């Protein structure tokens, strides 16, 4: 029996009642995609590298938090901070050990190194934590709220608030601090930046640390909703990557917008079209984007050869 | 030079004689080589690992007791890493290089399906621990595959058990949510196929990916229907997320799940949200709640104590039980019929009233699974524990 | 050209003499899988090493070929060779559709597009249950037949796969050493310069991309007929990455090096059963270390060794 295109319309159920729920769900996952996409953007701006290990930072954030909380019995806030700090160190180490020594290599080789890094981190996580999924308790265990006809869990609120906070802090950092301004200068013109006395090497190191921090933050926020396991990073990383392209690779506001659009599109399509093809949505959007507006929604125009 | 040549020739002759003598000597108490291909590592290791351990335990115990009719059993066990290509290579290795008399495995349907034609062509018995009925029957012709058997209960049995329970509890409208992999796909097929027989209306069908972070969207859609119960068919973390989403959305429908969640890991992940879930399960997880008259009770408790004593820290699992049944059915037949493939195959087919972990097996030429829906009992999760519904 | 021709001849010799030493069907099956991946990797090497583009969705093309063969032969009872051809044409068309808009752009847009396409293809394999058998897959894909011979045994299939590979290898050598190939080299070293010399950069890149997708499709068809079975799992993102790793580890600048990579990454896990859970870790580490210290891959290392030995001999001779 073929499925009617809009079964809930035919069933006579108020589709607008569900719409709000779909939006809430979409924005929650979209916020995570946005944080991952920001990580891609930060590194891309500093180095032109697409860091395929970005998803693993998300995984590490969640996994380390679980270990700190359940394994060592630390309080939640401390576990979260330590997880983010540890992941940041791993990000810095990755740049220092695998990227900086070969900075002269072609961008393609560097991208392959990040792919290797991703597999390495995933393999290590599997050995340390095994293949099981691990739960993380909600930050504030309270019953879900009712907003109009939709239900919003407190963890969803944490995700949204956390993302907004991260975006604001990032903005302040870029606009108000010397380091932030230097980072922007590097992205804009590394040679000129170097002439002004900015250490490009240090800025690249910094960008890896920053994007690992954001990734880990996303990982900690989402873990109570979705659990976490050694392989959770791959799909989140790829979706975040689609979001970064959609928004325009290199644009911070674009990354956020891209993440939200993909999250909402996935949620709506599983609600109104087919949940089987939900995962294809992000990649279809990516393909369409490359066809019609390769620079992304907010990106600079792509350079033709 | 000549001398050397003669010495070599004699040495070679002596070698050949010695070898053939050793060979004939070995013939008398020839070991029975049983092959196994198990998904011991890779994404399904949670299923495969206990199977591997169970098989090694059973083979050791059997040899300690003197083997089968004086023949030692050599278990040649390979790990396919849940990879269909590797599965094929290893099955070929068992058949062609190791020259085994029968093969046990694999753990999952996607890795068993590709080795079915290999064993059929080689004319050696395969006893699979995976669930799909397509393993033992050709889906196009409905013919039973002569050389292929399996011990894991088919999804149709679990579905029948669920639908029977629904009818008894006056539930006729259900919504389905299944995972997009072989397990969910097979369950979905059976849920749709058997619905009419039990007069069940399926109001909605939803899917999710096995790495999906959240199923609220799908559950919202189900919430908007008039379904009295939600049937979720998946393994891993997906069902735990579904349970949480259902609770968060304040849905009042009964949540029914497949036998795929009958493990401690699910209870750990889902926490409070697991309470109230109803599922069909093999009797292993509620062995101590079974009536004393149950023919499987003694065996289940025995398997559990043996396994947990041999592998400290490990918990006995239904999947290990499938390997247990495969090994016992195969070795029982070996005891009666010997290693000649055709005789062995016919003997497995004659298995009757064999009490195993997965149920009471009654094989026949047209039934290479040998189980009925009574292989399952209905279980409800209460306070984080499995409670038998009597 | 000369060196490649020698290597091609040596490989041919090896392919036909090896059966004298191989007695276990199991080793044949390993060799078959190496051959199948070898075909994909030949195409991918031309794309990475000569056109300077990376594809993160070649497993998708590989699967596209496999599914075309499996679906057309089991569901529509088409002749296997015809099905293989249809798959090949369809894959090439798909590659053109994907390549035309993305190869016009500067940067790694092809990588992104192939990644997206690969993911979408795998989801289609999973979801179109009526056609593809869904996640469980399709069984009973018929054996290939030619000249009254059925390629059912491993030994026969071994010859089939490796003859395919040798022919495609020969084709690739000619392509690489033709005017076109030299133009491609120019592209990968400096695109702007190549463009200003009047080399039709985009068209060439597009052509090489389509050829490499076609190789993957052929390999996929062979894979389906060898296993008599397809399911979606061998055609995912991680396999695409593994294919790239084969090229990179073997050496993206030389066709034979890439074949070496395919052989190594397929055979190593077979013989190093000890690796098991460490496989992923080791594999990621190898990828990083190779890229850092030997970006020319194994082929580069071997060429370096050869150079060194030659120089040493020269010195010896000079001293004597």
Report the residue of chain A nearest C244, measured CA to CA.
Answer: A112
Q: Give the C-alpha separation, B293 to C196, whole Å.
A: 89
Closest by CA position to A282, among listed A264, A302, A298: A264
Contact C250, C298 (CB under 8 A): yes
- DSSP secondary structure of A18-65: HHHHHHHHHHHHHHHHHHHHHHHHHHHHHHS---TTHHHHHHHHHHHH
Q: Give the C-alpha separation, A130 to C62, whole Å.
A: 31
Q: How many residues does chain C have?
A: 320
* 3-class SS of residue A273: coil
* Min Cα separation C299/chain B (Å): 28
End-to-end CA distance of chain A: 49
Q: Give the C-alpha separation, B202 to B228, whole Å.
A: 10
Cβ contact, residue pair B209, A278, below 8 Å: yes
Domain B156-288+376-388 -> CATH class: alpha beta
Give the DSSP letter of residue A100: G
Contact B107, B44 (CB under 8 A): yes
Cβ contact, residue pair B92, C30, below 8 Å: no
Give which of A4, A71, A131 to mutate to test B binding, by max B Cβ within 10 Å.
A131
User: Does residue C277 have a pLDDT over 80?
Assistant: no
Give the position of tokens 């195969």.
B330
Contact B229, B174 (CB under 8 A): yes
Identity of the residue in A18, A133, A225 whose CB atom sits nearest the CB atom of B236: A133
pLDDT digits (tens, 9 = 90+) for B93-150: 899 888 999 999 899 888 998 899 889 989 999 999 998 888 999 887 889 999 999 9
pLDDT digits (tens, 9 = 90+) for A163-191: 999 999 999 998 899 888 888 888 778 78
The pLDDT value recorded for residue A10 is: 41
Residues of chain B within CATH 3.40.50.2300 domain(s) are 32-154+297-371, 156-288+376-388
Of the candidate ranges A16-25, A67-76, B172-181, B308-317, the one whose mean pLDDT is the lowest: A16-25
Cβ contact, residue pair B213, A236, below 8 Å: yes
- Domain B32-154+297-371, CATH: 3.40.50.2300
* Min Cα separation C228/chain B (Å): 7
Cβ contact, residue pair C281, A241, below 8 Å: no
A287 falls within a domain: yes
* Min Cα separation C278/chain A (Å): 7
Q: Give the C-alpha separation, B9 to B151, whole Å.
A: 54
CA distances from A172 to A84, A175, A178, B183 (A): 20, 5, 11, 49
Residues of B with Cβ-Cβ distance to A13 under 8 angstroms: 224-225
Of the candidate ranges B10-19, B146-155, C64-73, the one whose mean pLDDT is the lowest: B10-19
Identity of the residue in A111, A280, A305 whose CB atom sits nearest the CB atom of C120: A280
Number of A/B CB contacts below 8 angstroms equals: 102
Give which of A40, A287, A288, A301 to mutate to test C binding, by max C Cβ within 10 Å.
A287
User: Does residue C279 have a pLDDT over 80?
Assistant: no
pLDDT digits (tens, 9 = 90+) for C207-224: 999 999 999 999 999 999
Q: Is A188 exposed, middle or buried (0-12, 13-18, 19+ CB in 10 A)?
A: exposed
Residues of C with Cβ-Cβ distance to A121 under 8 angstroms: 284
Residues of C with Cβ-Cβ distance to B84 under 8 angstroms: 137, 227, 229, 231, 233-234
Report the residue of chain B nearest A147, measured CA to CA.
Answer: B249
ipTM of the complex: 0.84
Report the residue of chain C nearest A103, measured CA to CA.
Answer: C292
Give the position of tokens 């752009």.
C105
Cβ contact, residue pair B185, C33, below 8 Å: no
Cβ contact, residue pair B185, C134, below 8 Å: yes
Buried b (16+ CB within 10 A) or exposed e, A252-286: bebbbbbbbbbbbbbbbbbbbebbbbbbbbbbbbb
Q: Give the C-alpha separation, B278 to B257, whole Å.
A: 6
Contact C249, C264 (CB under 8 A): yes
Closest by CA position to B185, among listed B143, B233, B146: B233
A236 falls within a domain: yes
The pLDDT value recorded for residue A91 is: 96
The pLDDT value recorded for residue B11 is: 54
Q: Give the C-alpha separation, A66 to C311, whole Å.
A: 57
A221 touches chain B (CB under 8 A): no
Sorted by sequence, the CB contacts under 8 Å of residue B207 that are 6+ apart come out as A274, A275, A276, A278, B177, B178, B179, B180, B184, B188, B218
Report the residue of chain A nearest C105, measured CA to CA.
Answer: A304
pLDDT digits (tens, 9 = 90+) for B276-315: 999 999 999 999 999 999 999 999 999 999 999 999 888 8
Closest by CA position to B119, among listed B105, B129, B133: B105
Higher pLDDT, C277 or C132: C132
The percent of residues above 90 in pLDDT, for chain A, comes to 50
The pLDDT value recorded for residue A6 is: 45
| 3-state percent helix, strand, coil for chain C, nearest multiple of 5 | 80, 5, 20
Report the residue of chain A nearest C122, measured CA to CA.
Answer: A280
Report the residue of chain B nearest A143, measured CA to CA.
Answer: B248
Structure token pair of residue C33 = 């899988």
CATH code of the domain covering residue A258? 1.10.3470
Domain boundaries, position A176? 13-292
This prediction has a pTM of 0.85
The pLDDT value recorded for residue C240 is: 92
Average pLDDT estimate for A240-258: 91
CA atoms within 13 A on the CB side of C182: 5
Q: Give the C-alpha separation, A45 to B353, whole Å.
A: 69
The pLDDT value recorded for residue A60 is: 97
* 3-class SS of residue C145: strand
The 3 state secondary structure assigned to chain B is CHHHHHHHHHHHHHHHHHHHHHHHHHHHCCCEEEEEEECCCCCCHHHHHHHHHHHHHHHHHHHHCCCECCECEEEEEEECCCCHHHHHHHHHHHHHHCCCCEEEECCCHHHHHHHHHHHHHHCCCEEECCCCHHHCECCCCCCECCCEEECCCCHHHHHHHHHHHHHHCCCCEEEEEEECCHHHHHHHHHHHHHHCCCCCEEEEEEEECCCCCCCHHHHHHHHCCCCCEEEEECCCCHHHHHHHHHHHCCCCCEEEECHHHCCHHHHHHHHHHHCCCEEEEEHHHHHHHCCCCCCCHHHHHHHHHHHHHHCCCCCCCHHHHHHHHHHHHHHHHHHHHCCCHHHHHHHHHCCCCEECCCCEECCECCECCCCCHHHEEEEEEECCEEEECC
Give which of C139, C141, C143, C265 to mutate to test B binding, by max B Cβ within 10 Å.
C139
The pLDDT value recorded for residue C189 is: 67
The pLDDT value recorded for residue A13 is: 47
Cβ contact, residue pair B117, C139, below 8 Å: yes
Greatest extent of chain C over all pairs of C-alpha atoms, in Å: 76
Average pLDDT estimate for A72-85: 93
Q: Give the C-alpha separation, A29 to B135, whole Å.
A: 38
* 3-class SS of residue C144: coil
Cβ contact, residue pair C135, B110, below 8 Å: yes
Could you tell me the residue ranges of all domains in chain C? 2-237
Closest by CA position to B331, among listed B49, B47, B26, B65: B65
Chain C 189-208, CB below 8 Å of chain A: which residues? 191, 195, 201-202
Give the position of tokens 């997906």.
B238
Confidence of residue A93 (pLDDT cuts 50, 70, 90): very high
Count Cβ atoms below 10 Å from residue C199 Cβ, excluding itself: 19
Structure token pair of residue B160 = 């029948």
Structure token pair of residue B266 = 């699910």
Chain C 262-281, CB below 8 Å of chain A: which residues? 277-281
Contact B9, B1 (CB under 8 A): no
Cβ contact, residue pair C248, A112, below 8 Å: yes
Cβ contact, residue pair C106, A304, below 8 Å: yes
Average pLDDT estimate for A57-79: 93
Give the DSSP letter of residue A71: I
Give which of C23, C27, C127, C227 to mutate to test B binding, by max B Cβ within 10 Å.
C227
Give which of B179, B189, B218, B221 to mutate to test A binding, by max A Cβ within 10 Å.
B221
* Min Cα separation C136/chain A (Å): 15
Chain C 42-71, CB below 8 Å of chain B: which residues? none
Structure token pair of residue B34 = 């049983």
Q: Give the C-alpha separation, A122 to A124, whole Å.
A: 5
Give which of B185, B213, B215, B384 to mutate to test A binding, by max A Cβ within 10 Å.
B213
Q: How far is CA B158 from the centre of its chain?
A: 14
Identity of the residue in C280, C282, C291 whose CB atom sits nearest the CB atom of A109: C291
Identity of the residue in B117, B134, B182 whose CB atom sits nearest the CB atom of C135: B182
Give the position of tokens 């409800």.
B380
Cα B241–B244–B246 angle (5° rounding)?
110
Q: How far is CA C131 from the centre of its chain?
A: 27
Omega cis (within 30) before B106: yes
Give the position of tokens 């351990």.
B53
Closest by CA position to B345, among listed B124, B30, B145: B124
Buried b (16+ CB within 10 A) or exposed e, B207-242: bbbbbbbbbbbbbbbbbbbebbbbbbbbbbbbbbbb
User: Does residue A15 have a pLDDT over 80?
Assistant: no
Closest by CA position to A28, among listed A164, A143, A168: A164
Cβ contact, residue pair C30, B186, below 8 Å: no
Q: Give the C-alpha separation, C53 to C111, whole Å.
A: 7
The 3 state secondary structure assigned to B207-254 is EECCCCCCCHHHHHHHHCCCCCEEEEECCCCHHHHHHHHHHHCCCCCE
Where helices occur in chain A by DSSP H, the ranges are 7-10, 15-47, 54-66, 76-94, 107-129, 154-176, 178-188, 190-195, 200-226, 232-247, 252-272, 278-292
Q: Give the C-alpha separation, A189 to A207, whole Å.
A: 15
Chains that touch B (3 or more CB pairs under 8 A): A, C
Could you give the number of structural domains in chain A? 1
């Amino acid at each position: 029996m073929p499925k009617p295109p809009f079964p809930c319309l035919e069933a006579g159920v108020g589709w607008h009642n569900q719409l709000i729920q779909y939006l809430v769900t979409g924005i929650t996952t979209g916020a995570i995609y946005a944080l991952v996409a920001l990580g891609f953007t930060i590194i891309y701006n500093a180095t032109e590298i697409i860091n395929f290990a970005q998803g693993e930072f998300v995984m590490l954030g969640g996994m380390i938090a679980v270990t700190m909380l359940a394994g060592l019995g630390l309080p939640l806030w401390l576990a979260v901070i330590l997880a983010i700090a540890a992941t940041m160190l791993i990000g810095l180490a990755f740049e220092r050990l695998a990227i900086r020594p070969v900075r002269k290599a072609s961008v393609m080789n560097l991208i392959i190194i990040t792919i290797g890094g991703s597999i390495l981190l995933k393999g290590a996580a599997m050995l340390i934590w095994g293949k099981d999924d691990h739960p993380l308790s909600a930050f504030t265990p309270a019953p879900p709220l009712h907003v109009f006809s939709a239900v919003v869990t407190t963890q969803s609120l944490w995700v949204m608030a956390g993302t907004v906070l991260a975006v604001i802090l990032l903005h302040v950092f870029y606009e108000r601090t010397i380091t932030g301004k230097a980072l922007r200068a590097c992205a804009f013109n590394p040679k000129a930046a170097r002439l002004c006395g900015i250490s490009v090497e240090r800025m690249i190191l910094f960008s890896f640390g920053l994007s690992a921090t954001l990734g880990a933050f996303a990982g900690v926020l989402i873990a109570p909703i979705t659990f976490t396991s050694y392989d959770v990073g791959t799909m989140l990383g790829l979706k975040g990557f689609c979001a970064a392209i959609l928004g325009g690779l290199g644009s911070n506001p674009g990354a956020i917008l891209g993440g939200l659009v993909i999250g909402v599109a996935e949620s709506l399509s599983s609600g109104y079209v087919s949940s089987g093809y939900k995962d294809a949505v992000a990649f279809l959007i990516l393909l369409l984007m490359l066809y019609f507006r390769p620079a992304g929604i907010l990106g600079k125009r792509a350079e033709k050869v | 030079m000549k001398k050397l040549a003669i010495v070599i020739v004699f040495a070679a002759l002596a070698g050949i004689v010695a070898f053939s003598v050793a060979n004939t000597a070995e013939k008398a108490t020839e070991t029975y080589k049983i092959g196994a291909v198990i998904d011991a590592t890779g994404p399904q290791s949670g299923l495969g690992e206990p199977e591997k351990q169970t098989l090694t335990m059973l083979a050791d115990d059997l040899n300690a007791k003197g083997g089968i009719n004086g023949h030692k059993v050599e278990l040649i066990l390979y790990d396919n890493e849940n990879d269909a290509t590797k599965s094929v290579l290893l099955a070929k290795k068992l058949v062609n290089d190791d020259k085994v008399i029968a093969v046990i495995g694999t753990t999952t349907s996607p890795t068993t399906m590709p080795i079915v034609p290999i064993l059929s062509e080689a004319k050696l018995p395969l006893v699979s621990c995976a669930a799909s009925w397509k393993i033992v029957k050709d889906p196009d012709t409905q013919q039973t595959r002569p050389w292929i058997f399996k011990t894991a209960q088919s999804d149709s049995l679990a579905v029948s058990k669920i639908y029977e329970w629904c009818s008894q509890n006056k539930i006729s409208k259900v919504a389905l949510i299944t995972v997009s992999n072989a397990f969910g796909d097979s369950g979905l097929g059976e849920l749709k196929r058997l619905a009419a027989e039990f007069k069940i209306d399926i109001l909605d069908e939803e899917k999710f990916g096995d790495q999906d972070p959240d199923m609220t969207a799908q559950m919202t859609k189900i919430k908007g229907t008039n379904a009295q119960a939600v049937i979720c068919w998946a393994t891993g973390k997906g069902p735990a997320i579904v349970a949480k989403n259902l609770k968060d959305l304040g849905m009042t429908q009964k949540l029914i799940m497949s036998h795929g969640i009958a493990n401690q890991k699910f209870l750990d992940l889902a926490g409070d949200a697991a309470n109230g879930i109803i599922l069909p399960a093999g009797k292993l997880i509620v062995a101590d709640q079974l009536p004393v008259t149950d023919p499987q009770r003694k065996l289940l408790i025995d398997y559990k104590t043996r396994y947990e004593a041999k592998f400290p820290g490990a918990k006995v699992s239904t999947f290990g039980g499938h390997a247990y049944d495969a090994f016992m059915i195969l070795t029982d037949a070996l005891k009666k019929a010997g290693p000649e493939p055709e005789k062995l195959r016919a003997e497995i087919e004659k298995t009757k009233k064999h009490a195993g972990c997965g149920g009471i097996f009654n094989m026949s030429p047209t039934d290479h699974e040998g189980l009925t829906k009574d292989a399952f009992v209905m279980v409800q999760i209460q306070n984080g524990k499995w409670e038998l519904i009597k | 050209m000369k060196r490649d021709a020698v290597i091609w001849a040596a490989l041919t010799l090896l392919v036909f003499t090896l059966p004298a030493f191989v007695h276990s069907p199991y080793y044949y099956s390993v060799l078959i899988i190496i051959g199948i991946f070898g075909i994909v990797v030949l195409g991918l090497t031309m794309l990475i090493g000569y056109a300077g583009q990376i594809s993160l969705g070649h497993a998708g093309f590989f699967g596209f070929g496999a599914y075309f063969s499996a679906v057309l032969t089991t569901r529509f009872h088409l002749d296997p060779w015809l099905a293989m051809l249809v798959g090949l044409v369809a894959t090439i068309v798909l590659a053109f559709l994907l390549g035309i808009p993305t190869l016009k752009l500067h940067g790694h847009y092809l990588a992104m597009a192939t990644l997206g396409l690969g993911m979408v293809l795998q989801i289609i394999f999973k979801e179109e249950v009526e056609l593809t058998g869904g996640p469980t897959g399709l069984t009973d894909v018929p054996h290939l037949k030619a000249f009254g011979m059925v390629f059912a045994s491993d030994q026969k299939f071994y010859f089939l796969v490796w003859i395919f590979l040798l022919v495609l290898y020969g084709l690739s050598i000619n392509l690489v050493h033709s005017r076109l190939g030299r133009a491609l080299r120019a592209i990968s070293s400096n695109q702007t310069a190549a463009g200003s010399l009047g080399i039709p950069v985009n068209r060439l890149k597009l052509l090489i991309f389509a050829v490499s997708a076609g190789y993957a499709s052929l390999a996929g068809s062979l894979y389906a007929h060898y296993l008599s079975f397809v399911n979606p799992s061998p055609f995912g993102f991680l396999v695409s990455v593994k294919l790239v790793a084969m090229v990179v580890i073997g050496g993206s600048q030389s066709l034979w090096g890439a074949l070496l990579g395919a052989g190594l990454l397929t055979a190593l896990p077979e013989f190093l059963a000890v690796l098991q859970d460490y496989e992923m870790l080791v594999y990621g580490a190898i990828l990083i270390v190779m890229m850092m210290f030997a970006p020319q891959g194994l082929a580069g290392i071997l060429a370096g060794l050869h150079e060194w030995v030659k120089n040493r001999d020269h010195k010896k001779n000079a001293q004597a």
